[in-house]
Structure 1
Amino acid sequence: MPTVLRFNGLRAVIYPNDHRPAHLHVIGNGCEAVFNLHCPQGPPELRENYGFSQKDLAGIQAKLAEALLVACNEWGAIHGQP
């Protein structure tokens, strides 16, 4: 699973055998969340959360919004254009 972003001790990954729509799995601190990217305009949107606090999720969403073009390009490189 390629790690496409790292921030605040977390990893944002794209699974090579995953499905559309374009999304990232954010993993760390014993938690995981999935964000749909809504490429190329965004904003990233929480789809699933397993353990992150609302404060953590807001910070993650802000970081993903900053890196949206990188994330969308990485998704496209692995799965084709979103």
Structure 2
Amino acid sequence: MPTILRINGFRFFFYSNEHLPIHIHVEKDNKTAKFNLEEIELVKSRGFNASELKEMRKLVSENIAIFKNKWDEYFNN
């Protein structure tokens, strides 16, 4: 499960056996979330409050190129 980014206590990662659409998982403490990356969209969340989800969406938006590049490197090579 490759970790792509750690920032503000969040860990952004994907699993080694992922599927389309392109997405990123996020965890912090015992909380988890998943965002699609083609159009940034929260798919699911467990335990995060609204302000944390807003911060994560901002971080996904700011780092979307990194996430997509890492996805392509890992799954298309």
Count of residue pairs brought into register by the alignment: 76
Alpha-carbon separation, structure 2, partners of 1:77 and 1:45? 22
Q: Secondary structure at the match of 2:17?
A: coil
Larger relative contact order (CA 8 Å, sep ≥ 6): 1
| Of 42, 48, 55, the match for 2:51 | 55
Gaps of 5+ in 2: none
Alpha-carbon distance between aligned partners in 2 of 1:79 and 1:50, rounded to the nearest angstrom = 26
- 1:18-48 superposed Cα distances (whole Å, 9 cap, x missing partner): 111000110112100000001xxx4x21000
CA distance in 1: counterparts of 2:75 and 2:14, whole angstroms: 9
What is the TM-score of this pair, normalised by structure 1? 0.87
Superposition RMSD on alpha carbons, in Å?
0.9
Give 1:11-22 correspondences, 5 Å limit.
Answer: 11-22=11-22
1:77 aligns with 2:73: yes
1:25 to 2:21 alignment: no
- Structure 1 stretches (4+) deviating beyond 3 angstroms? none
For 1:49, the aligned partner's letter is S
Inter-partner Cα distance in structure 1 for 2:58 and 2:6? 13
The residue type paired with residue 58 of structure 1 is: K
Q: TM-score, normalised by structure 2?
A: 0.93
